[in-house]
Amino acid sequence: MIQARAYISFAAAAVVCILACSPASVSNGSLTIFAAASLTDTFQDIGAAFQAKHSNVHISFNFAASSTLRSQIEQGAKADLFASADTRQTDLLYRSNAIFPLQKIFTSNSLVLVVSEHSEMVRSPADLANPEVLLALALPEVPAGKYALEVLEQMSVSDEFGRSFYQKALANVATYEVNVRQVLAKVALGEVDAGIVYLSDVTGGRDEGIKVIRLVRSHNVTALYPIAILIDTHDVELAEQFVNFLISQRAQAILAEHGFQEVLS
């Protein structure tokens, strides 16, 4: 008898748990937006601004490396919009018929060298090739990592660094982090001397424990950020409204605050 009662109360507790944990019911439209890790803070601000205009709309975000998000979408993850840190991911999704062909480039980003405050090892980009420097990059498979390698390559072809710069810098890589924010974390903790991240990653108070070294234009690359609507979206209209909002002055101002650069189209 006691056991039966215990079983019932356990079941009741389970039911309460499930009810308590289920998401609040959503009315009047909702958007699920998959966005590149580098957009994390910016999109949260933009989402809030969008909701201020459309009070009944519920927005949920999924932030990760663009390539991770692309795989998730390929595997059937439900989303309405995909904002990527490079056009390669959207091109791949377009080829697999997951997004509408009209993708909008809504902003751009550039790269910077970040150096740990604790480290004296790196004072200029040329020091990246010095022996015993520890460097963190994002995985070459994620956009930030691909761009970082491009930056190192560009330095290598310029006369001031020399041909061997690229190989020497690569030999200093201690870790290929799964996303760009992890690169920043490893530098901020002082575990590596330097890393290459987006300018937007270190704009707006996210520069604790680090020093930022800007790269000259000829060494830098421009990361273009496209946004695309997924074929499987349940609300094309609302998704379009968000895209339009993204290129509006209000949203562009928020992007600029976070270190992104406007694209002229």
- Kindly list the residues in this chain that would bind another protein in the complex (CB under 8 A): 65, 67-68, 71, 74, 118, 134, 136, 139, 141-142, 173-178, 182, 186, 189-192
Question: How far apart are the C-alpha atoms of 120 and 42, rounded to whole Å?
Answer: 31
Q: Which of 148, 171, 172, 152 is nearest to 162 (CA)?
A: 152
Q: Which of 93, 103, 101 is nearest to 73 (CA)?
A: 93
Question: How far apart are the C-alpha atoms of 10 and 4, rounded to whole Å?
Answer: 10
User: CB-wise, 65 or 238, nearer to another protein?
Assistant: 65
Tell me how far, at minimum, the Cβ of 160 lies from another protein, in Å: 28
User: CB-wise, 172 or 220, nearer to another protein?
Assistant: 172
Q: Give the angle subtended at the CA of 118 by the CAs of 212 and 222, to the nearest 5°.
A: 20
Tell me how far, at minimum, the Cβ of 15 lies from another protein, in Å: 18
Tell me how far, at minimum, the Cβ of 29 lies from another protein, in Å: 32
Tell me how far, at minimum, the Cβ of 71 lies from another protein, in Å: 6
User: CB-wise, 18 or 24, nearer to another protein?
Assistant: 18
User: CB-wise, 4 or 24, nearer to another protein?
Assistant: 4
Q: Could you give phi then psi for residue 111, rounded to 5 degrees?
A: -110, 150
Q: Are 237 and 148 in contact (CB under 8 A)?
A: no
Tell me how far, at minimum, the Cβ of 54 lies from another protein, in Å: 34
Give the ranges where 165-235 is alpha helix by DSSP (H).
Answer: 165-171, 180-188
User: CB-wise, 65 or 112, nearer to another protein?
Assistant: 65
